[in-house]
Structures are given as structure tokens and as C-alpha cells.
């Protein structure tokens, strides 16, 4: 009964539209101020503060203060995985976006986005499939980076080997993509791929949200590194 009560209390943290909107916004992997989240959720700052206190107290978010500003972000990658998995199961019931602006934003998210710190959407799934086809990712029994995959990460992408040592977080894990209904690469390897693509400006963010798009240099790089072409 204690576990049941705890689970119910934890689930209640997301059983509010404002808190859910805040958590989904934070899936972009960045820290937001309380004021930014209040504006995003369409509530007063005092109301946002109450919701953030609950989310922080429940372990979903963590905070840091800098001067007068309070910054919050998801507590850890596991929270991002939980949110993405839940969203994937709810997606069929979501109504289609209304209006041109909403439809454009939805299309951008489906093409490519960050799922906390790794790639998702059609782009994330395409990269995952290409890595699998090239023998760099073994999906026979879950997700595992092969020896050639490790070499690709360190040699082709220049990721330091010490940044690929699994600890509490696995090197690779499957993350169910809520738009594609297929897995994309998560874990440390997924994070390092996304980090490298952004730092080399192969990807650029669209506005202040989670959506990303390939640059001209990115298209050329993915064609050369993974044989990917015709990415919309």
C-alpha cells in the first residue's frame, strides 16, 4: 500500500495541465527561468512558482539560483525518458493542431527535435537506423554500441572516450519516439551525438523550443558519415 500511495502521489505531479506543460517544455534540455515557464504555460508567475515548488519537491525538477533569477530544469535524463515514454502512449488521443502556426510548429517537431539531450523525430530515427545498418549499433537484444560504433564516436565525431563510460546512465538505450512510433537512440551515445551535431553547427534550433533543423553543413556531414540523404 505504501508503494501504491507513493506512485499515486508521484503521478499527481503530472496530473495538472500547467505542470505537464512546464515539464514538456523542459524536454529541450535547457534551464528555464520561472518567468519563462509562466509565460509558456500561460499562468501568473506566482502560480508558476507554486507548481514549480511541487515539481521540485517531487523530484521531477531541480533548481539553481543566479542573482535574482531562479533556473529550473529536469532533474536527470531518467525524467526525460519517463516523459517521452508517457507522451508516446498518449499521442493517439491528441487532437491535431489548429491554425497555421500550430501546424507549422507541430511539423517542425516531427521532423527533428531534442528529447532532453538526444535526437528525436524523423531525424533521430533516421540516424538510429543508419547507425544500425552500418553495424555501429546492435539492436538484436536491446540497444548496444558495437566496437565500430565506439570507433565512429571517438574518431569520426571526436568524442573523448571518457565521455562514453557508462555509469548510472547506460551507453545506449532505446527511447520510443512519440511521433514516429519507433525507437531512437538515447543514453550517453545519443547525448554525445546530439551534442556534437549542435556544437559543429550541423543542427540549429528553431526558435526557443525543442525543434531543430539540419544546416547545409549538417546535410553534407550526415551524407558523408552515415550515407543519409533526402532528409526533409
Q: How confident is the model at residue 30 (pLDDT cuts 50, 70, 90)?
A: confident
Question: Among 208, 213, 212, which Cα is nearest to 31's?
Answer: 208
For position 194, what pLDDT does the model report? 94
Model-level pTM? 0.74
For position 72, what pLDDT does the model report? 94
Return the bridge partners of 138, or none. Answer: 144
Interacting residues of 94 by C-beta distance below 8 A, sequence separation 6+ = none
Contact 212, 206 (CB under 8 A): yes
Q: What are the extents of the domains in the chain?
A: 2-75, 98-226
The interaxial angle of helices 2-14 and 17-25, nearest 10 deg, is 80
How far separated are the first and last CA of the chain, in Å rounded? Answer: 50
Q: What is the DSSP letter of 227?
A: -
Query: Residues 47-57: what's their mean pLDDT?
Result: 94
For position 130, what pLDDT does the model report? 95
For position 70, what pLDDT does the model report? 84
Domain 2-75 has CATH 1.10.340.30: no
Place of cell 496530473: 15
Q: What average pLDDT does the chain have?
A: 87
Interacting residues of 179 by C-beta distance below 8 A, sequence separation 6+ = 91, 109, 110, 120, 121, 122
Distance, CA of 125 to CA of 128 (rounded, Å): 5
Contact 184, 169 (CB under 8 A): no
Q: What is the pLDDT of residues 200-214, one digit of tens each?
A: 999 999 876 788 999
Pairing of strands 203-205, 212-214: antiparallel
Higher-confidence residue of 166 and 196: namely 196
Amino acid at each position: 500500500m505504501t508503494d501504491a500511495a507513493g506512485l499515486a502521489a508521484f503521478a499527481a505531479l503530472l496530473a495538472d495541465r500547467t505542470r505537464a506543460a512546464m515539464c514538456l517544455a523542459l524536454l529541450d534540455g535547457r534551464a528555464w527561468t520561472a518567468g519563462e515557464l509562466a509565460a509558456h504555460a500561460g499562468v501568473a508567475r506566482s502560480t508558476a512558482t507554486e507548481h514549480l515548488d511541487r515539481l521540485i519537491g517531487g523530484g521531477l525538477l531541480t533548481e539553481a539560483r543566479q542573482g535574482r533569477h531562479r533556473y529550473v530544469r529536469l532533474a536527470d535524463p531518467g525524467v526525460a525518458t519517463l516523459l517521452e515514454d508517457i507522451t508516446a502512449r498518449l499521442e493517439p488521443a491528441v487532437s491535431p493542431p489548429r491554425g497555421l502556426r500550430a501546424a507549422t510548429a507541430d511539423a517542425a517537431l516531427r521532423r527533428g527535435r531534442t528529447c532532453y539531450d538526444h535526437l528525436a523525430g524523423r531525424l533521430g530515427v533516421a540516424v538510429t537506423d543508419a547507425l544500425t545498418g552500418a553495424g555501429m549499433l546492435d539492436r538484436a537484444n536491446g540497444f548496444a554500441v558495437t566496437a565500430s560504433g565506439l570507433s565512429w564516436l571517438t574518431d569520426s565525431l571526436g568524442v573523448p572516450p571518457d565521455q562514453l563510460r557508462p555509469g548510472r546512465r547506460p551507453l545506449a538505450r532505446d527511447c520510443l519516439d512519440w511521433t514516429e512510433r519507433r525507437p531512437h537512440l538515447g543514453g550517453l551515445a545519443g547525448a554525445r551525438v546530439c551534442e556534437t551535431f549542435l556544437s559543429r553547427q550541423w543542427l540549429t534550433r528553431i526558435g526557443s523550443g525543442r525543434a531543430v533543423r539540419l544546416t547545409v553543413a549538417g546535410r553534407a556531414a550526415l551524407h558523408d558519415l552515415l550515407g543519409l540523404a533526402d532528409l526533409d
